[in-house]
Amino acid sequence: MNYSWNWGILFEAPYAEWLLSGVAWTIGLFAASMVVGFGVGTGIGLMRIAPIRWLRIISGIYVEMFRNVPLLVQIFIWFYVMPELLPSDVGQWLKRDLPMPAFWTSVVAIGFYTAARVAEHIRAGFLAIPAAQMQAALATGLNLRQVYRYVLLPRAFRIVTPALTSEAISVMKNTSLALTIGVLELMAQSRQIESYTFQSFEAFTAGTAIYIALCAAVVFVARHIEARYAIPGMIQSR
């Protein structure tokens, strides 16, 4: 292989700044998508197990729609198709006046997609709690809202922490798809450095290493949360 290595390029202007700016956009996409995904997902997950039939039906339809369509397809639908389907002035606003349209569209797409998956984890977490626990809490006079708030939710979240950690890592990696609609996040910047310098190995190695580091940071934080909320006397607390 006849290739002239130049790792130094990664630390030269303007490429170093490009990488840093890419990391910043990736983190921004990640943070906003997490808020949408975990927030909406928790709500949908609670609807999935609600004692009200039509809530279960609606949330079931949501989950099947959003987790069974590839994320890339969803991003394209939100970005290219949605503005045309909406009333023309709303569509106009989305296309012309919304600041950072590609960024927010990506956040909505990744967030809603993630929400469907988070909802299923939350539902599984609740189903893992024996029915008698809810009966015991109700028997003390707590109302249904209090039973969820103080007994079931805290237990369910502990059960699903490992699954939600994987979900958070997926969100981090899924942000790279935002490049397809023009968000200059880490993946886009790595490619841009490659096109400008033809140092493809260095550019993509840098991108890869940074994704690994970002995901490792997510795992690190998740481990801390797990340890912080570990229940004394149970296996996770050792």
Partner 1 sequence: MIALQNVSKWYGPTQVLRECTLSVARGEVVVVCGPSGSGKSTLIKTMNGLEPIQHGEIVVDGVKVNDPKTDICALRAHIGMVFQSFELYPHMSVRNNIALAPIKVLRRSETEAYKRTEALLKRVGLEGHADKYPAQLSGGQQQRVAIARSLAMDPKAILFDEPTSALDPEMINEVLEVMTQLAGEGMTMVVVSHEMGFAKSVANRVIFMDAGEIVEDRPSGEFFSAPQTDRAQQFLAKVLHH
Number of amino acids touching partner 1 (CB under 8 A): 23
Q: In angstroms, what CA-CA distances link 195 with 24, 25, 133, 188, 199? A: 21, 20, 59, 11, 8
236 interacts with partner 1 by CB under 8 A: no
* Alpha-carbon gap, residue 127 to 181, rounded angstroms: 38
* Alpha-carbon gap, residue 193 to 14, rounded angstroms: 9
* Alpha-carbon gap, residue 8 to 77, rounded angstroms: 40
Compare residues 47 and 137 and give the one whose CB is closer to partner 1: 137
Compare residues 1 and 132 and give the one whose CB is closer to partner 1: 132
Candidate residues 51, 87, 99, 141; the one interacting with partner 1 per rule CB under 8 A: 141
Q: Give the helix/strand (H/E) hosting 164.
A: helix 153-174
Residue 10, amino acid:
L
Please identify, among the stretches 49-57, 78-86, 138-146, 160-168, the one whose residues bind partner 1 according to the rule CB under 8 A: 138-146
Compare residues 88 and 140 and give the one whose CB is closer to partner 1: 140
Candidate residues 44, 119, 137, 160; the one interacting with partner 1 per rule CB under 8 A: 137
Least distance in Å: CB of 149 to partner 1?
Answer: 9
Angle (nearest 5°) at CA 184 between 182 and 190? 120
Compare residues 149 and 223 and give the one whose CB is closer to partner 1: 149
Cis peptide before 70 (omega within 30 of 0): no
Candidate residues 1, 52, 85, 139; the one interacting with partner 1 per rule CB under 8 A: 139
Q: Could you give the maximum distance between any two Cα atoms of the chain, in Å? A: 76
Candidate residues 135, 196, 201, 213; the one interacting with partner 1 per rule CB under 8 A: 135
Are 36 and 108 in contact by the 8 Å Cβ rule? The answer is: yes
Compare residues 21 and 146 and give the one whose CB is closer to partner 1: 146
Compare residues 158 and 191 and give the one whose CB is closer to partner 1: 158
158 interacts with partner 1 by CB under 8 A: yes
**Dihedral over Cα of 203, 208, 213, 217: its sign:** positive
Candidate residues 51, 140, 228, 238; the one interacting with partner 1 per rule CB under 8 A: 140
* Alpha-carbon gap, residue 41 to 44, rounded angstroms: 5
Candidate residues 14, 154, 162, 182; the one interacting with partner 1 per rule CB under 8 A: 154
122 interacts with partner 1 by CB under 8 A: no
132 interacts with partner 1 by CB under 8 A: yes
Residue 230 DSSP class: P
Residue 44 tokens read as 């949908």
Contacting positions for partner 1 (CB under 8 A):
130, 132-133, 135-143, 146, 150-151, 154-155, 158, 229, 231-234
